[in-house]
A and B are shown apart, each in its own frame.
Chain A
């Protein structure tokens, strides 16, 4: 078992087979650096619980194809990313920090799915981005590919 500590001082025990999906922790274990508690100063306990839930479910991912559990994993993944924006970003940041490739891909793809049909205005609002382009610069970008700014699928709602 490997002990992880969140930035709000909560400790979690995780099976080594699960936690080595994190390249960062795997390297620490290989270097003999995981004998005591591993502090994770960038991750709060709420996010760490989500990450551990993912790691435990994906513990035998390599065997999933043999045992026919692929559909089960797919369903889990779909449910897993069903969370709010802020929570999703926290998991993305944690997956990036811990270097968990599959989790990173899953969450980034989910974020892109939420953004893909959105209007420019909606994206700015969803991600709280300030528009610093001038009107001329904006028009120039639109003129380069006007077809990308037209279409019934473009959704101006923020959710």
Chain B
């Protein structure tokens, strides 16, 4: 039974560690040296901070990129969390395994002028010419040339 108590105590202490992370004092959430003491910990009143960093990340990782970036404006805590490289990796790894976020990019080449580019869901297995197709915005003056691999990234 002693082992059980130790296990429970261990779980409890892990939960406390999660809850005690406070972004207002530390820009880097994952700094190992960051260990706030009980006295300096502010009262956790906002729902997001009561949930703890890990849980909030588990929710935010499901957001599409547009909302993900917009929600940086929610508070300092969210801004720092969303800007964390570790979290960006987590979001990216979820997105690349999510069939709904995989797209097929295609373009029509015109000899002169701007060539429109389109994308459609890769998972739908649909005809690329159906209503699922979206026209993409891209920098003016960009002309796709010949056949090849196009790499897109969001800086």
From the candidates B46, B47, B61, B69, name the one contacting A148 in the complex (CB within 8 A).
B69
* A interface residue numbers (CB < 8 A to B): 24, 27-28, 31-33, 39, 42, 89, 92-93, 96-97, 104-105, 108-109, 111-113, 115-120, 123-124, 127-133, 137-138, 141-142, 144-145, 147-149, 151, 154
Number of interface residues of B (CB under 8 A): 37
Interface SS, A side: helix
| A-B contact list, 16 entries, CB within 8 Å | A28-B4, A33-B7, A42-B15, A92-B59, A96-B55, A108-B59, A109-B62, A112-B60, A112-B61, A115-B59, A116-B64, A119-B70, A120-B70, A129-B75, A131-B74, A137-B76
The answer to whether B3 and A31 have CB atoms under 8 Å apart is yes
Total cross-chain contacts (CB, 8 A)? 108
Cα distance A112–B47 when bound, in Å?
Answer: 15
Give chain A residues whose Cβ lies under 8 Å from the Cβ of B74.
120, 123-124, 129, 131
Contacts of B132 in A (CB 8 A): none
How many angstroms from the CA of A89 to the CA of B79 in the assembled complex?
A: 21
Q: Is B72 an interface residue (CB 8 A)?
A: yes
Give Cα A89–Cα B58 distance, bound, in whole angstroms: 12
Could you tell me if B46 and A129 are in contact, using CB atoms closer than 8 angstroms?
Answer: yes
| Cβ of B48 under 8 Å from chain A | yes
Interface residue from B11, B64, B66, B71 paired with A24 (Cβ < 8 Å):
B11
Whether B76 and A31, one on each chain, are in contact in the complex, defined by CB atoms closer than 8 angstroms, is: no
**In the complex with contacts A111-B59, A112-B60, A89-B70 CB distance below 8 A:** no
Looking at the assembled complex, report how far the CB atom of A93 sits from the nearest CB atom of chain B, in whole angstroms: 7
Cβ of B107 < 8 Å from any Cβ of A?
no
Which 7 A-B pairs have CB atoms at the shortest separation, nearest pair first? Answer: A112-B62, A33-B4, A148-B69, A148-B70, A108-B58, A127-B47, A120-B73
B137: shortest Cβ distance to chain A, in Å? 8
A142, chain B: closest CB distance, angstroms: 7
Knowing A31-B7, A116-B63, the reply to whether A133 touches B46 (Cβ < 8 A) is no
CB-based nearest B residue for A116: B67
- Interface 1/0s, chain B 50-62, versus A by CB < 8 A? 0100110011111
